[in-house]
Structure 1
Amino acid sequence: METKRILLRPWQDSDAETLFKYASDPDVGPRAGWPPHKSVEESLEIIHTVFNKDTTTWAIVLKETGQPMEQREQSDACIDSAESRERKTEGHVIGAMGYGASCDCKLPTRDGEPIVGYWVAKPYWNKGYCTEALQLMLDYIRNNTSLTSLLCGHFVDNPASGRVMEKCGFVPTGEECYDETLYTGKGRPIRVLRLEIKR
C-alpha cells in the first residue's frame, strides 16, 4: 500500500532501532495509551509480539526517493523484480498504523468490530502523514475485507488525533469512556468515534 509520500509495509526486525528512537519519546506513547519504550530490545520484542502478531499492523514508511509515483514505477520496471520489491521497503519508518481486536481495550465495540490504532513520531506531526496513512489503510479495508464498521478513540486531551479520525470520515458516537487498562488511561476520558464502511 502506498501513496506518493508514504507506504505501509509489515514491520521488520531491522526497524527496531528506529522504533526505539521515536517510541522512547515521552511525548508519543502516553498520548496513545502506551508507555515509552525503554530499550532497542524492548522495541524488537514489541515488533514480534504486538506489531507482527497479525497481518493488520503496518509500519508507516516515509519514502526517500522523492520521485512521483509514475517515475518510480517506470524506474522499477527497468530493474529486476526482486530489486524492485526491495526498493519498495526502502525509506524511513515514522510510525505505525493498524486495526484489530484488543482483549485489553475497554472501548464500546460492537460484536467483531475492530479498533483502529496509530501513532506518528513527533518530528512528523502536523504534516498530514497520519491522515494519509489512515486513509490508505481504510481504502485497503474497503477493497479487501468485509468489515462493516471500525471504532476508534482518542484521549480528550489529544484533540489532534481526533482531527485525523474525523478527516477520514469517523463520526463521534457521543460516548465518552475511561480505560484504566491503558498506560496513563486512569482518569483520562476517551472520546469514541466510529466509521460505517460504505462500498
Structure 2
Amino acid sequence: MIYNKTERTIETDRLLLRLFNEGDANEVSRMCNNFNIYKSTLTLPFPYPLECAVSWIASHEGNFNSDRMYEFAVTDKVNGQLYGAIGISNKKQHKHGELAYWIGEEYWGNGYGTEAANAVIKFVFKEKGYHRVYARYFTSNPASGRIMQKCGMVYEGTLKDHVFKNGTFEDLNLYGIINPYEQA
C-alpha cells in the first residue's frame, strides 16, 4: 500500500484508490442501480438515479478535508476502470471507524474488494492513527464476510434481526481488527 498524501490516492498491486469525481457519476449510478448491490448494502437506495450519485460524490471532498470520512473510488491502476467504492468513517474521539464497500456485480470474484479493504485498513492505521476498524455485513451476504476475514478482521458478534429490509429482518455480523502497528 502506497499512500500519496498530495494526490489523496492509495496504490496497491492492481488498484488505484482515488477520490471520486463528477465524471464517475454515470458509472456509479449504473453499477448501483442493481438490486443485487442494493440488497447487500445497508444504506444504498434502489433505484439509484444519477442524482444520488452526483450528490453522494459532491460530499466526498468535504468529508475527506474535515477528516469525517475517507471515501475512495476503487479503480484499475493501469486503465482507470471503476470497479466500486470503499469508505471508512472517522470517529476521532474513539480512534476507530467503520469500513464499508461495494463492488460492481460484473467485477465480483476478482479480489478487488479484499485488496481495497486491506489498503484502506493499512491507510487508517498507519496514516490516520486509528486504533480499531470494524465492519458489518448481512448474513445473507457471506462474500462480504470473507473479505473481512481475509483482511485479518475477527468475528465479534451478531446483531440478530437488526435491520428490516425488503420485507424481512436481517442479521448483521460484526467484525473488527485492532491496529497491529501501534507501539505497545
Distance in 1 of aligned mates of 2:125 and 2:96: 14
The one-letter code sitting in structure 2 at the alignment partner of 1:197 is N
* CA spacing shift, 1:147–1:112, aligned 2, 3 Å: closer
Distance in 2 of aligned mates of 1:9 and 1:126: 21
Larger radius of gyration: 1
Q: How far off is 1:29 after superposition? A: 2.1
Question: For the Cα contact (< 8 Å) 2:11–2:77, is it kept in 1?
Answer: no
The one-letter code sitting in structure 1 at the alignment partner of 2:36 is D
* CA spacing shift, 1:2–1:135, aligned 2, 3 Å: same
Q: How far off is 1:52 after superposition? A: 4.0
SS of the residue 2:30 aligns to: helix
Cα-Cα RMSD: 2.2
Displacement over 6 Å in runs of 4+: none
Higher relative contact order (CA 8 A, sep 6+): 1
Give 1 or 2: higher strand fraction. 2
Question: For the Cα contact (< 8 Å) 1:101–1:113, is it kept in 2?
Answer: yes
Is the deviation greater in 29-38 or in 16-25? 29-38
1:188 to 164, 170, 174: 170
TM-score (norm 2): 0.81
TM-superposition CA deviations, 1:96-142 (whole Å, max 9, x none) = 1111059xxxxxxx945311100100011011010000111122122
1:32 to 34, 38, 41: 41
Structure 2: runs of 5+ lacking an equivalent: 1-9, 65-69
2:102 to 109, 115, 119: 119
Aligned residue-pair number: 165
Q: What residue in structure 2 maps to residue 45 of structure 1? A: 55
Q: What residue in structure 1 maps to residue 67 of structure 2? A: none
Match runs of 1:66-105 below 5 Å:
91-100=80-89
Structure 1: runs of 5+ lacking an equivalent: 66-90, 103-109
Identical residues among aligned pairs (%): 24
Distance in 1 of aligned mates of 2:73 and 2:24: 9
* CA spacing shift, 1:122–1:163, aligned 2, 3 Å: same
SS of the residue 1:176 aligns to: strand
SS of the residue 2:31 aligns to: helix
* CA spacing shift, 1:115–1:188, aligned 2, 3 Å: same
Question: For the Cα contact (< 8 Å) 1:177–1:192, is it kept in 2?
Answer: no
* CA spacing shift, 1:179–1:113, aligned 2, 3 Å: farther
